[in-house]
């Protein structure tokens, strides 16, 4: 015998039953593209020369999941160790490099940073010469 109560139970049971669907009909998950920026490793092993040159020119760089960019002509280095194969050059005018306790490993016998321009400055940067293989 069909009663209102049985009809209601059947309707609720059908609505609660799991549905089998094709994966193609589901909403796709959007994954942002990887940044096309140079990456600073900052581990003291991987060469950071190209990325640090770009950063000092004012270009944004990728560092540990975030984008770094100079603000108001101030380049702030994270407090970690960077490995370089050549010297860095700070060019322009009124630029300031804040090492914030960072360490730069450079080839022995080369200057760590060449400063070119007027009113440029460097502070809180530790430079260590390394033997080249």
Whether the full predicted model's pTM is greater than 0.95, yes or no, is no
Give the E-state strand segments of 32-120 in sequence order: 43-47, 61-63, 66-68, 74-76, 81-83, 88-90, 96-107, 113-115
Q: Which value, in Å, is the radius of gyration of the alpha carbons in the chain?
A: 28
Each residue's pLDDT tens digit, 39-68: 999 999 999 999 999 998 888 999 988 888
Kind plus residue range of the DSSP H or E element containing 39: none
Cα–Cα distance measured from residue 81 to residue 128, given in angstroms and rounded to the nearest whole number: 10
SS3 50: helix
For the segment 2-20, the average pLDDT, to the nearest whole number, is 62
For the segment 101-127, the average pLDDT, to the nearest whole number, is 83
For the segment 3-13, the average pLDDT, to the nearest whole number, is 63
């Amino acid at each position: 015998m069909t009663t209102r109560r049985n009809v209601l139970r059947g309707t609720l049971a059908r609505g609660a039953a799991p549905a089998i669907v094709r994966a193609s009909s589901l909403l796709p998950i959007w994954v942002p593209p990887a940044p096309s920026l140079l990456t600073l490793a900052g581990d003291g092993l991987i060469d950071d020369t190209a990325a640090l040159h770009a950063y000092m020119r004012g270009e944004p760089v990728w560092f540990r999941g975030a984008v770094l960019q100079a603000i108001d002509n101030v380049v702030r280095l994270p407090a970690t160790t960077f490995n370089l194969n050549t010297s860095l050059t700070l060019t322009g005018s009124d630029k300031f490099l804040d090492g914030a306790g960072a360490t730069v490993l450079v080839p022995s016998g080369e200057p760590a940073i060449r400063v070119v321009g007027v009113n440029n400055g460097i502070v809180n940067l530790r430079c260590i010469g390394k033997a080249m293989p």
